Structure 1
Amino acid sequence: MPGQDFEELAVALAEMARDLLAQETLQSTLDRISEHAVELVDGCEAAGILTVRRRASGRGGYRHTVRTLACTDDLVEASDQLQEEVGEGPCFDATRDRREVLRIADMSDQAERWPLFTPRARELGIGSMIGFMLFTSEQNLGSLNMYSRSPGALTERSEQVGWLLASHAAVAFASARSGEDLHASIASRTDIGQATGIVMERHKVAEDQAFAMLSKASQDNNIKLRELARHVIDTGEISALRV
């Protein structure tokens, strides 16, 4: 939104907040956050959301894995995959150092900082980028990354607007994830309840005994209880369960 003044920006962010809260799924919320970044931040040509997780590897070491949650352009996913491949880059630094904002005005100047990532990032067409940590007082949710193919296109103004957008986005992200987790929890309890009822009817046992049978079968077969319950509901198969 080139040349936007404070009032225009406030209106745009308010409309964005309403739009994000109107989304019905977590994925649609993340997709819209990325799309709003392109629409509202000067110089932003592509945007995406990722998570970086530190996982143990062999011999006591560890490696970082990157997961792209949403993106508006293939450039975003290519950058995410490149950082995971070479094990360095702005998202890794932001995650490790817990930096709220990391702006790279000109990717060509970063060869000393990221010797493996920088030349290949330029080959991908990345001229400048900004990364924003998405967090609330209780959760670190990942990062929102904005890209331009032109060096110098993402300015201090872009950073200021992007930070405001990221703050709104983090709240919407957390709300959508909590809602999805709650929905999944309710669905799981419902499935387990239905499966318990099927076992009660087939084996002519009380509710607590039917639930114990499901739990034991889950442990014996190394299957999550909710997955076993869904299987019982879908197929009616309870032959593996014993009184």
Structure 2
Amino acid sequence: MSGAQPSVPPPGDTPLTSLAHQLIEALGRGTWGPDALEVLVGAAVAQLPGCTDASLTSVAPGSTPATVASTSERAVRADTWQYELAQGPCLDAAAGSPLVRASLVDGETPWPEWAPRVVAEAGYAGVLSVRLGSQAHPLGSLNVYGTDAAALAALPAEDAESFAALTSVVLASARRAGHLEEAVERRTVIGQAQGILMERYKMTAADAFALLRGLSQQSNTKLFDLAQELAETGQLPRDASGRPAAGGLPLS
């Protein structure tokens, strides 16, 4: 993931037009591809009421579903549990109803194994998934996770559907250009970097991801580039004075 931060929408912008502006900016910076997918999920968190985290699931015939962009490590875990358990809103949205929304804390979801685990281990209280692509040719889903079930329940469906419509175009373009494989590879490298931090400093996956994201913002370095350096060298970067740039954590 790139660690790019969504810009503040101009006054009067709708979520859809603001997102379009951000994607145009990404094109202008030459960051089309996996970085554009990161713009999409970051914009969802910034602009969709009740959205704590967002992710994109890609589905393709003969392939296992995969998360190609997300705003947090726990969103990736929530997605991954769906793939492993073969149940959950992103799978339902991709294969059935175009929009799936549920409170995860009322005990009435159709996902008896997935929902309790997401509440207990990820802290989410509500979820909304919107199909990307068409029923005949599904591309995946836009997944919106919230820690406030009521706030997410109040999110207008048309806002989520507008995001999904533009996201479908970007995801389809990324797939044609072969960028989805790159996006999955990025997720793998970031996971490797998290694993190094977890083992070395005895921290959780969430804390390791938060450390990487913080360093990315602090050093103005893309999250993937930072993770790749750590995965390849076993070292976190140092600041201009040569001291560890990791909040005092030792580097060896």
Match of 1:117 among 114, 119, 122: 114
Match of 1:15 among 6, 14, 21: 21
Rate the CA distance shift 1:86–1:174 in 2: closer, same or farther, 3 A.
closer
Deviation at 1:170, TM superposition (A): 1.5
Deviation at 1:17, TM superposition (A): 4.1
Return the structure number with greater helix share.
1
Corresponding residue of 1:164: 162
Matched, 1:133 2:139: no
Corresponding residue of 2:70: 71
Deviation at 1:8, TM superposition (A): 4.5
- TM-score normalised by L of structure 2: 0.58
Unmatched 5+ stretches in structure 2 = 1-9, 180-252
Amino acid at match of 2:51: C
- Alpha-carbon distance in 2 for matches of 1:171, 1:114: 29
Corresponding residue of 2:99: 101
Match of 1:178 among 173, 176, 179: 176
- TM-score normalised by L of structure 1: 0.60
Return the structure number with greater strand share.
1
Matched, 1:82 2:88: no
Rate the CA distance shift 1:172–1:96 in 2: closer, same or farther, 3 A.
closer
Q: CA RMSD in A?
A: 3.1
Corresponding residue of 2:50: 43
Deviation at 1:131, TM superposition (A): 0.6
Per-residue deviation, residues 191-225 of structure 1 (Å, max 9, x unmatched): xxxxxxxxxxxxxxxxxxxxxxxxxxxxxxxxxxx
Fraction of identical pairs, as percent: 26
Corresponding residue of 2:211: none
- Alpha-carbon distance in 2 for matches of 1:120, 1:54: 28
Rate the CA distance shift 1:112–1:176 in 2: closer, same or farther, 3 A.
closer
- Alpha-carbon distance in 1 for matches of 2:115, 2:44: 23
Amino acid at match of 1:172: V
Deviation at 1:82, TM superposition (A): 1.0
Q: Is the 8 A contact 1:35 1:47 kept in 2?
A: yes
**Could you say which structure has the larger radius of gyration?**
1
Q: Is the 8 A contact 1:20 1:172 kept in 2?
A: no
Deviation at 1:66, TM superposition (A): 2.8
Per-residue deviation, residues 78-129 of structure 1 (Å, max 9, x unmatched): 11111122221112222221x221111x112354511111111111211111
Q: Is the 8 A contact 1:52 1:67 kept in 2?
A: yes
- Alpha-carbon distance in 2 for matches of 1:110, 1:89: 14
Rate the CA distance shift 1:9–1:84 in 2: closer, same or farther, 3 A.
closer
Deviation at 1:139, TM superposition (A): 4.8
Deviation at 1:76, TM superposition (A): 1.0
- Alpha-carbon distance in 2 for matches of 1:147, 1:27: 21
Corresponding residue of 2:224: none
- Alpha-carbon distance in 2 for matches of 1:20, 1:137: 29
Amino acid at match of 2:41: S
- Alpha-carbon distance in 2 for matches of 1:89, 1:9: 26
